[in-house]
Amino acid sequence: MPVKNNVTRLLDSRKIVYTVYELPAEKLGALGTADLLGISADVVFKTIVVTRKPGKPILAMIPGTHAVDLKMLAKFLGEKKIVLSTQHEAEKLTQLRAGGISPLALLNKGFVIVLDASARDYAEIHISGGQRGLNIRLGVDDLIKLVNARVGEISRKIKEVL
């Protein structure tokens, strides 16, 4: 029986088409997830928690092969300075464990969600399902609409994945 949690129940209630992938319940990261699923890491998006003072925290969703570019993100949002959260800070802000941070689990929690523009290159992408070991593939347009994501160029490629 497929895993059910608040994220999958939300998607079901909104009649959004998605596919659930159960993975080991350890922090794999986007590259490890892509490797296990046998897919390109460019379609596995990781969620990076970024803070600004004052203001609401930001969830930057970027491909597994990229790093968030804080200057690009700040410029896109019209901010002077933003700071990358540590893993401990991210977990404290989101109340989720690293490796399971998902914008779908944080709807209406005060986070600004920014999706890297490269997501538009694909019909569907993979994101965390709100807990470690749960990955969800869903349509990019559905994700943007559901989480009210802003879309912009906010990351840079960090390495080639073979």
CATH number of the domain bearing residue 134? 3.90.960.10
Band of the pLDDT at 162, cuts 50, 70, 90?
very low
The residue range of the domain holding 138 is 6-152
Residue 43 lies in a domain: yes
Domain count along the chain: 1
Helix (H) or strand (E) holding 68: strand 66-68
Model pTM greater than 0.85?
A: yes
Residue 55 pLDDT exceeds 90 = no
Contact yes or no for 29/149 (Cβ under 8 A): no
* Range from 14-18, 58-62, 143-147, 157-161 carrying the lowest mean pLDDT: 157-161
Q: Mean pLDDT, to the nearest integer, of 111-140?
A: 96
